[in-house]
Amino acid sequence: FYGAVVTPVDASTWKALPRCLFCVGSTGNIDWMLEYIQENKLHEALSQKGYSLDDVVILQDGEFVIPGFIDTHTHAPQYPNLGRGGQYQLLDWLKNVTFPKESQFEDKDFAQEVYSSVVRRSLDCGTTTSCYYATIHLEATKVLADIVNRLGQRAFIGKCNMDCKEENPDYYTEEDAQTSLQETSALISYIRTLSPISSHASIGTAPEPLLQAILTPRFAISCTSELLKGISDLADKYDSKGPYSSDPRMRIQTHISENRGEIQRTRELFPEAKSYTDVYDRHGILRETTILAHAVHLTDDEIRMVKERNAGISHCPTSNFNLCSGVAPIGKYLDKGIKVGLGTDVSGGFAVSMLNAIQHASIASKIIAMNAVAPGNSAKQRFAGTQFSIQTLFYLATLGGAEVCNLGHRIGSFSPGKSFDALWVSVLDAKGSTGVWGKEATSDGAIDVRTQKLEENLERFLFCGDDRNILRVYVQGCLVGGQSFEKKD
């Protein structure tokens, strides 16, 4: 590929490369990357690498490549509820809107229909890695795994663990802790034996499978102590501990401290724990491999525990606004060095696209900044109390999410050896969605003008673009979605 590339470096910086030349190998990894090659040196640079101009895909002005978005928290079965239920807060929303819908996934045909459309849409919106919650149903969760595997998205898929008879509705609860754990093991085995589809045969050499199971205790309220402990044991059993091993780490995902009513109920159900976070910690599920969704109302002591255990946080601002949960202090978490990514939390959040999560993360940071006593501008407080820069928002949706998934060595940014999980974006012709922006300076334009234009185009895409701007979506080097992708399913 030759053209404009933007890739995050850390939570406050990116590299905007208007004339980058890079090569994706047959394994889907980036082989090499030359950050700046002038047009008139292209031929020479290629021949030094043993290639000719015919081997190169050249991006037009107004097109650029960025790492794919990483949705660190979403519920696939809630897709049919998108846009419903925003009049409720969490516990009433679960009871009135969400559990009734999820219970329908006992029907495998219904699961097939819903899951096919949500995964297709997620890919076309530019989500190359997704952390999915399914339902309590093993068979329907296998259906989701089959679909994700066929469509080629990188994903973590979990069957919800919910055995607490007192708290879950009669029509939507598991038999008991042992049944829940057995079915979870069955899902892990199923996903580990799923073979890659033929067009992805080359992925066999990638150190981590694209599709992995994830342990999914829904939240403390929905689980008994016996089940939480059993999940910790499963995490020990299946966790390889080595990031490059062919048997990957065993991730866990759950919700934490989202809503005040939820926190109060959690404290009542687990009176021996000193906090919501301590419920998870004393059951052994607060780990480096744990993804905690929301974390809106954590106390300082809980924040310390999350940092100590090196768990990651999935910031779900669309959902936090929609269910009136609160505004999570993400800047504070970043200052403490806690891993943070973004999640859509469909359908607590009302949008599948990570672009909406980025926009709402920006607004959330501005609400905090407006209410901050003094802006955080000391060396220790770089993010707390500030409105996030576009670089920070971009990081959260890409490399930050990768760190939360313990996949920072594979995805989230571009460098030799990493997977090519990427979006090819155009801001020129978006069928009227965004107007015509950003014809770049002519070929002899100064480098800083082109860089500035590229940064502006990315910013405008993030704030007023949509899936019509995403021409091609790649996962591990394979074309799997976007406007120019011919759908076979």
User: Which residues sit at the interface with Fe ion, rule CB under 5 A?
Assistant: 345
| Options 90-98, 225-233, 306-314, 396-404: segment touching ligand GUN (CB under 6 A) | 90-98
Q: Toward ligand GUN, which CB reaches closer, 94 or 203?
A: 94
Residue 465 engages ligand GUN in binding (rule: CB under 6 A): no
The DSSP secondary-structure symbol of 249 reads: -
Nearest CA to 112 out of 120, 265, 281 is that of 120
User: Going by DSSP bridges, is the β-strand pair 339-342/312-315 parallel, antiparallel, or unpaired?
Assistant: parallel
Q: Toward Fe ion, which CB reaches closer, 358 or 430?
A: 358
Least distance from Fe ion to the Cβ atom of residue 99, Å: 13
Between CA 320 and CA 126 the distance in angstroms is 22
Residue 258 engages ligand GUN in binding (rule: CB under 6 A): yes
Considering CB distances under 5 to 8 angstroms, the limit depending on partner class, which of Fe ion, ligand GUN, none binds residue 258? Answer: ligand GUN
Considering CB distances under 5 to 8 angstroms, the limit depending on partner class, which of ligand GUN, Fe ion, none binds residue 218? Answer: ligand GUN
Least distance from Fe ion to the Cβ atom of residue 294, Å: 7
For ligand GUN, the binding residues in 335-374 under the rule CB under 6 A are: 345, 348
Residue 321 engages ligand GUN in binding (rule: CB under 6 A): no
Q: Toward Fe ion, which CB reaches closer, 64 or 132?
A: 132
- Provide the residue type at 439 as one letter: K
User: 135 and 159 in contact (C-beta within 8 Å)?
Assistant: yes
Between CA 180 and CA 328 the distance in angstroms is 31
Considering CB distances under 5 to 8 angstroms, the limit depending on partner class, which of Fe ion, ligand GUN, none binds residue 418? Answer: none
Least distance from Fe ion to the Cβ atom of residue 255, Å: 6
What is the maximum alpha-carbon separation in the chain? Answer: 71
- Chain residue at closest Cβ approach to Fe ion: 345
User: 159 and 141 in contact (C-beta within 8 Å)?
Assistant: yes
Q: Toward ligand GUN, which CB reaches closer, 348 or 401?
A: 348
Nearest CA to 84 out of 353, 323, 357, 364 is that of 323
Q: How far is CA 215 from each of CA 26, 157, 249, 251, 256, rounded to the nearest angstrom? A: 32, 8, 11, 6, 15
Among residues 218, 251, 315, 332, which is the contact residue for ligand GUN, using CB under 6 A?
Answer: 218
Residue 19 engages ligand GUN in binding (rule: CB under 6 A): no
User: Going by DSSP bridges, is the β-strand pair 2-10/63-67 parallel, antiparallel, or unpaired?
Assistant: parallel
For ligand GUN, the binding residues in 380-439 under the rule CB under 6 A are: none
Between CA 231 and CA 215 the distance in angstroms is 7
Among residues 149, 319, 344, 469, which is the contact residue for ligand GUN, using CB under 6 A?
Answer: 319
Instruction: Map residue 168 onto helix, strand or coil.
Output: coil
